[in-house]
A and B are shown apart, each in its own frame.
Chain A
């Protein structure tokens, strides 16, 4: 899931300066689960905008905000007039969602959230980063623990010298060192041969350009 968190209200207020009629779009998928762009948060945002003296022309929570098809079905068709009437669209979804709204509606968009990472949900409001979408998954070699996302330096051959008692220097030794976790996992599985094998420099070309996949 894509983890998002709300931007400070003051920042949003600044973006909306000069715009009076606002349409709000949330997201029925990740941002609903994060409680950052679900129906409840969208309604609360509408109240806030009104308290700033704005007119909320309408709102919608599409099944997924990052999918053009759901945007057409759940936002554009049912809310054509109120959407058109708005000076700006405030989007309570991840960065992909905000861009999808801009592309599909052609409206001026304002992001209401910060997109923070791809991660897992341990329980309500408890998320942990797990993947940086590097384009060349290494998880087989690392016992199913991602060093790209979970080691603060993204090292392929850890642990570094900053590890102490299994904790990481980059968080003042507050979080686990991913490479000690990898060591423990591989040891448990009797696969320390994988740990011992040097990983050669990663091919970042799979990651460092705009990416798209169009399957036929």
Chain B
């Protein structure tokens, strides 16, 4: 079989079996993202790509397409352009994808998107003309067949690698697994998961994922503070934080305040990632440390004993 074409460094490293790290940038309601760009410059060499969120939790922020382009251009790190189906119909998404390719974007994460009612403009009319599965199908048709959803021919069709999200914390988990299977059958190329704290949940999910034969990056979200941990446990449904981790974070806070909490985080996630690297076929980690990105290289250094050895050219 001919080798599958590679369009991005992110995919090149995954295909080569490198253990990869991705970051997550959340641009806000602003016209200036230079601070965000600055904080990601320090991640060069540590993360192979940066996900750029598309109006997360249905808050109306600067366009993820524009932010993806700026971040990729200014940091020299590839963007993983997140596209949701909440705000745009198939016409708008098709145009944005064509534009994204023209701007040099090569990785896309296809998402459904949170319902507008959880966001900052709850009066908005939800679109959802497509969902994450049909969006994936649209991208596959654009890339593989050079046509849009209606079959209209595209001049110079785009070439993207397209990934999907997964929620290993979902309860019940079976419909979530079957949904992923649907998307894999349509041609999803990688999976990035929601954050996981329970290593057993991660292991069980990675075991299931073996049959899909596409790389899985698990989501890592360090705790910025004890308050943030408590908030996540209380308000983010499905998040399971093992007692032991909770106690370690609380202990650290008592022992040495903020600094000790950061250090404990680095320890906890280093142990977790090392253990998963040793015992599973994990392909990488998606590091979501929104607002304290500087912690990401510290965790990576401790796991890898230095910078990861990525392939740096296509």
Contacts and interface: CB of A to CB of B under 8 A. Distances in A.
Interface in A186-201: 187, 192, 195-201
Given A165-B171, A198-B137, A198-B186, A153 B129 contact: no
Interface in B160-208: 165, 167, 170-172, 174-176, 178-179, 181-183, 185-186, 194
Contact of A170 (B118, B138, B170, B176): B118
A154 to B, nearest CB: 5
A164 B237 contact: yes
Contacts of B174: 183, 187
A157 B175 CA distance: 10
B238 A164 contact: yes
Contacts of B71: none
A154 B165 contact: no
B119 to A, nearest CB: 11
Given A166-B172, A204-B129, A199 B134 contact: yes
A180 interface: yes
B217 to A, nearest CB: 16
A159 B115 contact: no
A212 B167 CA distance: 43
Contacts of B133: 156-157, 198-199
Interface in A158-215: 158-166, 169-170, 173, 179-180, 183, 187, 192, 195-201, 204
A173 B182 CA distance: 25
B229 interface: no
Contacts of B182: 157, 196-198
Contacts of A173: 237
A155 B131 contact: yes
A153 B131 contact: yes
A153 B182 CA distance: 19
B43 interface: no
Nearest to A182: B175
Interface residues of A, number: 31
Contact of A160 (B130, B132, B237): B132
A162 B236 CA distance: 10
A201 B171 contact: no
A155 B137 contact: no
Contact of A153 (B112, B137, B179): B112
B19 interface: no
B198 to A, nearest CB: 15
Contacts of A180: 172, 175
- Size bracket of the B interface: 35 or more
A195 B175 contact: yes
A170 B149 CA distance: 28
B179 A158 contact: yes
A156 to B, nearest CB: 6
B140 to A, nearest CB: 11
A120 interface: no
A142 B176 CA distance: 16
Contacts of B128: 153-155
Contact of B185 (A161, A192, A198): A198
B106 interface: no
Interface string B219-246: 0000000000000000001100000000
A151 to B, nearest CB: 9
Contacts of A166: 171-172
A139 interface: no
A17 B126 CA distance: 35
B117 interface: yes
A152 interface: yes
Given A165-B237, A196-B182, A204-B129, A159 B134 contact: no
A201 B112 contact: no
A159 to B, nearest CB: 5
A192 B171 CA distance: 18
A183 B118 CA distance: 25
B114 A162 contact: yes
17 contacts: A153-B115, A154-B128, A155-B112, A155-B131, A157-B131, A157-B179, A161-B112, A162-B114, A162-B115, A163-B170, A163-B176, A165-B238, A166-B172, A169-B114, A192-B178, A198-B133, A201-B134
Given A165-B238, A196-B182, A198-B134, 6 more contacts: A157-B179, A159-B170, A161-B194, A163-B175, A166-B171, A170-B115
Interface of B: 86, 90, 112, 114-115, 117-118, 126, 128-134, 137-138, 149, 165, 167, 170-172, 174-176, 178-179, 181-183, 185-186, 194, 237-238
